[in-house]
Structure 1
Amino acid sequence: MPAKPEGLESRVNRNTVIDEEVLYLLMAAELAGQRNQYHLAMDAYLQAAKRVDDPRIAERAVKIGLFLKDEQRTREALTVWLSKDGKNLAARKFAVLLAIKNSDQKAAVENLNAMLADDPAGFEAGVLEMTKLMEKEGRTQFTYDVLEELAVEHPNQASVFFLQAVLASVLQNNELAQQKVSQALLIQPDWNKAVILQAQLAGRSGDLAKARTSLEKAVKAAPEDRMLRKMLLEVLVNGRDYDDAIKLCQSVLEDKPDDAETLFTLALIYMQQGQVDKAENVLEKLLSNPEWEGQASFYLGKIEVDQQHPDKALTWFDRVSDGNYAFDADMAAVSLLMNQKRFDEIEARIKRMDNKYPEQHLRVLMVKAELYNQLGKYQEAFDVLTQALKDMPDNREVLYARALVAERLDKLDVLESDLQKILDKKPDDVGALNALGYTLTDRTQRYEEAAKYLERALSLQPDEAVVIDSYGWLQFKLGKPERALEFLRRAYEKQPENEIAAHIAEVLWSLGEKKEAKELFDSVYKKSPDDEYLLEFKKRFLQNGQ
């Protein structure tokens, strides 16, 4: 039977024609909105929405209600909106969010079911978008519980289990997350997104073998998926499976020889393996790529540093003029010059860096202070760090650096104050505990206080060489040379530094073991004839250079 033409009565019932009363309500709503009278605007839009078969007016009322955080009228507006357009996904999302916020599990499940039925393909993306909002509201656990009920109703819906895995991960329940993503993959084995999540979860738990297995399976199923191959490459590198990582890089490069990211990764792997020539060859291929020239030049410079070619290294570092690696390259150049004591070249570089990298002002100041320190200009270093503390009075690195310089200037009150400020904020700061304990040992007779700091540091990091050395030096000051020697030798085995060697030599000398002390001194002095600690030992114990 042919359908009858839609009559006037039907159109009137739907009220698609805006009558005078509705027009008045809409005008009143707009005017109220312009005057920031949002409660009045909300009332007018809501009344108009009930009279007109146009879901857009109800949508407007919902958005104003959410802005006003008026949950009662927002729910009322949502009901109107869904009555006008029951398949509107935006309305369903708002309904889900409101239900979860109010712990209304029944309404949340009902609206999620509607979303799943109306838009199964977009369900996962839509819910993921909402979960980010719910996380900010602290409703992640409740959202997970809602999805648990949904999973019972839809045991063959992989996307529901995947979403649960994501939420379990947010809740730091890695085991549950892995269980849920495994369920998703049982239903949809070739779902790469779930495979990637499974690999990420396995990697997070330290199970790199499982992560590798998951990704290798995915790569086999989708060999053209470059993202999967790069994720597998990352897992191989993290697992130190360098040979397999190289093979995978080469397979990627067979398909795309100019893949810069893969070339760069391959170069880093070669560097890790000590295959410097191969690393250089790969990095040089990146020099013609403007986006990767900086990274390549920086690492070519690092290779030259390792090969004791300082001038070549500087040339590479100076080639990095801009980009993400520019500051690191300039810092590497300054560090190289500092180690070579080419101080006259450093000051101009630091000045340029201060102008070029205003956002790195603190780090540049720290380098400047270190330069003055190396030059023996301790007051200048102290002044630079004091200036920095005016802008950042609680900065740990600046406080610590100034404390060490203060010791050089015999400003022990400043040293103690700065280190104590660090410890007030972080009582377990091993560096500050050790520095304060050692200074009290070496420069005062407050041995009981020193012991308190050093014993705490030793309990926190029992294998740290500098802490063991400090504690050994304390034992010597307490008149226990044999016990001191035990700690100092253990420290020197872990970290053969000149200062520790000087401590051992002094303790041996005090025990009458002068021959052994001199042999130790001679062995290290040959390598570091300008070392201040060795020179001090020589001055005090080896008169006339004997």
Structure 2
Amino acid sequence: MNFPILEPPMSASLPRFRRAPVASAGLALALALAAGTAPAASRLAQAAAPAAAPAAAAGPVLNSPLDAPLFYQLLIGEIELRNGAAGTAYEVILDAARKQRNEQLFKRAADIALQARAGDQALAAARAWRAALPASIEAHRYVIQLLVAMNRPADTVEPLQSLIRLTPADDRAALIRSLPRFFATSTDRKTVPPLLERALEPWRAPAATQGAVLQALAGAWLAADDNERALRLARDAQALDPAAEAPAMIALQLLPRTPAAEALIEAHLKARPDNHAVRMWYARSLSGAQRYTEAAAQLQQLVQAAPDRAAAWLTLGALQVELKQPQAATASLQTYLRLADAAPPAAAAGGRDDEDDDGDATTAPAANDQARIQAFLLLAQAAEQAGDFRAAEAWLARVDNPQRALEVQQRRASLLAAQGQVDEARALIRQLPEKDAETARAKLFAEAQLLRDAKRWQEASDVLGRGAQRFANDVDLMYEQSMLAEKLGRFDEMEQLLRQVIALKPDHHHAHNALGYSLADRNLRLPEAKALIERALALSPGDPFITDSLGWVEYRLGNLAESVRLLRQAYAARPDTEIAAHLGEVLWVSGQTDEARRIWREARGRDAANDVLRETLARLRADL
């Protein structure tokens, strides 16, 4: 018989088999059975290994349960498969599996059908396997996976319930929590939560599984993009067990789209302050939302509790560089390098060997090297912030990876520009070879940034203008052009560019925020400005710069109390100099002059040359 091609194709997540160059797994199995080295079903898997162990090493020889006709039946099945007759091979192997009631032979028959992309026959083999061996957990898993791959999730309820019943009581909760993974390849994830609710109904009430059921359903609704239900179920699960990790992990996935989820993470860390994995993920989530101060605070707690976590020190150092804390950053990054020198490659790259620990799954030596290079680059940046250009160059000299040449030259160019040698810095960037379009694009941005930092706005605009001719409709390039148009006072051009960016990429939150802030700063079209900024905040919840913009537009609208609230929130998350200038101004106008001076003094200590701060102090005639 010839198998039909299954439409749609079977999911790649199901087992696949390669044609063996010498002996197939089935042939090796047949030979092993005939030799009597795999006497029972529980031992048959060993026979499929590429090379059979010598008889002496295998222990006492036991008689095979197979007779000669059955051995030749298996042999014929494999020969038929090699000759391209997958249908005949399937029938022969499945017949042998039924006679022997053998796990490996049933699996082999199902896999032959999968290899031929014949889903119905694979499912028939798996169901025969389950019928012959009703206590087989693997048979149940095969049936469920095939039903999902064949877009028949509704048929999984009964086998799921049977699988749960077969699972030992001590392992049942873990299995229940993992059930959403069975449906990861489902084409319609919104149908999964209701069928899981039916499948899990018998385990909702028992105390041993109640929390696991809630966690599984929360994960299913999360996959179905119903964040509200996912959050509600995660809350219910956490109420049963505040120390349970799963609700916190679901909440982490909900951030930043669902700010209310953050309370679950904080509650979990209060109950389990030693859960370094959740704390690390939380810090990274906060960092991704540019809430650097809060992210650094979480990492400080982590390294105090677990000072041997190399990855935490590296991430903390990077945050401290962003917060312009060069001395603290240098100490953190040097601690990372000391730990990395003393640790295995996996720990140096990620802190531990597994992703569940702190989010670092990579264990290759290359990842360790890249992490060290990142530390060297960050140390150079910290030294530059501290004005120690010689130390910065020394750190850059330790980077010898050609793939990071552009980053190294960018940092060297930044050092030159910081010393007034802007033209030499530009030449350093320009002389880099353009290996591909991405490198050419990166060079454009690097050169334009040098000119921006030197306040050579027109030259920076000219550089990006030339780039726009080469990289048409590049939204990042257009956005940078708009920022330079604003510096040059060409506000109509800025607005036109930002609206083009929004048209090309409607979820570009920076463009919405920039346009809204520009209107608010010029006291124009304030309702439209507020709507643009609110849209930006919806696209990137918690972003401190967007929160700052919203606080500023509220100030322009005369809502001083709301403005102060928002600006305090933004400044607590990211103590940026411009945010400080805004918060100080609103406090000053509100009569809270002492606090305004304190905040301005803090900001001046970090960045005395900031134009926004200097303009604010001059305009308000504030004496610090």
Deviations along 1:197-244, whole A, 9 cap, x unmatched? 345436541136514432333324xx3x33244345557766959489
Partner Cα separation in structure 2 for residue 328 and residue 234 of structure 1: 23
Retained in 2: the 8 A contact 1:82–1:88? yes
Counterpart of 1:461, as a letter, is L
2:515 corresponds, among 457, 461, 467, to: 461
Q: Which amino acid aligns with 1:180?
A: L
Contact 2:126 2:143 in 1 (8 A): yes
In 1: Cα distance, 2:473 partner to 2:325 partner: 44
SS of equivalent residue, structure 1 residue 136: coil
Change (3 A) 1:268 1:381: closer
CA offset at residue 361 of structure 1? 5.3
Matched, 1:205 2:285: no
Q: Out of 325, 331, 334, which is 2:410 matched to?
A: 331
Matched with 1:49 is 97
Partner of 1:227: 277
Matching of residue 17 in structure 1 with residue 96 in structure 2 = no
In structure 2, the CA distance between the partners of 1:465 and 1:347, relative to structure 1 (3 Å rule), is farther
Q: Following the alignment from structure 1 to structure 2, what is the Cα–Cα distance between the partners of residues 161 and 354? A: 54
Q: How does 1:84-99 map to 2 (within 5 A)?
A: 84-99=132-147
Task: Name the CA distance, whole Å, in 2 between partners of 1:279 and 1:369.
Answer: 27
Q: Distance in 2 between matches of 1:40 and 1:198?
A: 51
Work out the CA distance in 1 between the residues paired with 2:337 and 2:100: 65
Among 130, 134, 140, which residue is 1:82 paired with?
130
In the alignment, what sits opposite 2:606?
none
In structure 2, the residue matched to 1:440 is none
Match of 1:196 in 2: 249
**1:261 alignment counterpart:** 311
1:134 aligned residue: 183
Q: Unpaired segments of 5 or more residues in structure 1?
A: 1-10, 404-418, 431-456, 472-489, 491-526, 528-546
Indicate the residue corresponding to 2:377 in structure 1: 298
Distance 2:200 2:387 in 1: 62
Question: In 1, Cα distance between the equivalents of 2:128 and 2:190?
Answer: 30
User: Which residue pairs with 2:423 in the alignment?
Assistant: 343
CA deviation digits over 1:368-425, x for unaligned, max 9?
7999999x999x9899969x95xx777666899999xxxxxxxxxxxxxxx99x96x9
In the aligned structure 2, how far is the partner of 1:394 from the partner of 1:192? 44
Whether the 8 Å CA contact 2:413–2:426 is kept in 1: the answer is yes
Q: What is the match of residue 51 of structure 2?
A: none
State the alpha-carbon separation in 2 of the partners of residues 300 and 134 from structure 1.
Answer: 45
Alpha-carbon distance between aligned partners in 2 of 1:129 and 1:327, rounded to the nearest angstrom = 43
Contact kept? 1:199, 1:210, Cα under 8 Å: no
Match of 1:176 in 2: 229
Separation in 1, partners of 2:108, 2:218: 34
TM-score (norm 1): 0.58
Structure 2: state its 5+ residue gaps.
1-39, 41-63, 342-347, 349-370, 483-495, 526-555, 557-608, 610-624
DSSP 3-state at the match of 2:217: helix
Give the Cα–Cα distance (whole angstroms) in 2 for the partners of residues 394 and 216 of structure 1: 45
- Read off the aligned partner of 2:378 and give its amino acid letter: Y
Question: Secondary structure at 2:104's aligned position in 1?
Answer: helix
Letter in 1 for 2:515: Q
| Counterpart contact for 1:115–1:123, Cα < 8 Å | no
Q: In 2, distance between residues paired with 1:273 and 1:366? A: 22
Partner of 2:565: none
Is the Cα contact below 8 Å between 1:199 and 1:215 reproduced in 2?
Answer: no
**Deviation at residue 117 of structure 1 after TM alignment:** 1.8
Where 1:207 maps in the other structure, the secondary structure is helix
1:267 and 1:278 in contact (8 A); partners too:
yes
Shift of residue 93 of structure 1? 1.1
Equivalent-residue separation in structure 2 for 1:401 and 1:395 (angstroms):
10
One-letter code aligned to 1:37: A
**What's the counterpart of residue 493 of structure 1?**
none
Shift of residue 96 of structure 1?
A: 1.5
Q: Encode CA deviations 1:433-479: one digit per residue, 9 max, x unaligned.
A: xxxxxxxxxxxxxxxxxxxxxxxx9999344479989x9xxxxxxxx
Alignment of 1:133-532 (within 5 A): 134-155=183-204, 156=206, 157=209, 158-198=211-251, 200-201=253-254, 204-207=257-260, 210-220=263-273, 223=274, 225-231=275-281, 233-234=283-284, 242=293, 246=297, 249=299, 251-268=301-318, 270-271=320-321, 275-288=325-338, 289=340, 293-307=372-386, 313-322=392-401, 327-337=406-416, 340-344=420-424, 346-347=426-427, 350-351=430-431, 354=434, 360=439, 362-364=441-443, 389=470, 427-428=503-504, 461-464=515-518
- Asked if 2 retains the 8 angstrom alpha-carbon contact of 1:294 and 1:323, the reply is no
Code of the residue aligned with 1:42 in structure 2: it is Y
For 2:220 and 2:430, locate their aligned partners in 1 and report how far apart those are by CA, in whole Å: 48
Higher helix share: 1
AA of the residue aligned to 1:301: A
Contact 1:144 1:164 in 2 (8 A): yes
- 1:108 match: 156
Q: Which amino acid aligns with 1:192?
A: E
- Per-residue CA distance 1:142-186 (angstroms, 9 max, x = gap): 332221012322113232322221121111111111222234344
Secondary structure of 2:200's aligned partner = helix
CA offset digits 1:30-74 (Å, max 9, x no partner)? 122213332232232233333333232221111222333434322
Greater CA radius of gyration, 1 or 2?
Answer: 1
Q: Deviations over 1:58-105 (max 9, x none)?
A: 211112223334343223212221133222222101212334456666
RMSD: 5.2
Does structure 2 retain, via aligned residues, the 8 Å contact 1:100–1:143?
A: no
Q: Deviations over 1:1-48 (max 9, x none)?
A: xxxxxxxxxx9xxx953452x445423321222133322322322333
Query: Which residue is equivalent to 2:54?
Result: none
The one-letter code sitting in structure 2 at the alignment partner of 1:194 is P
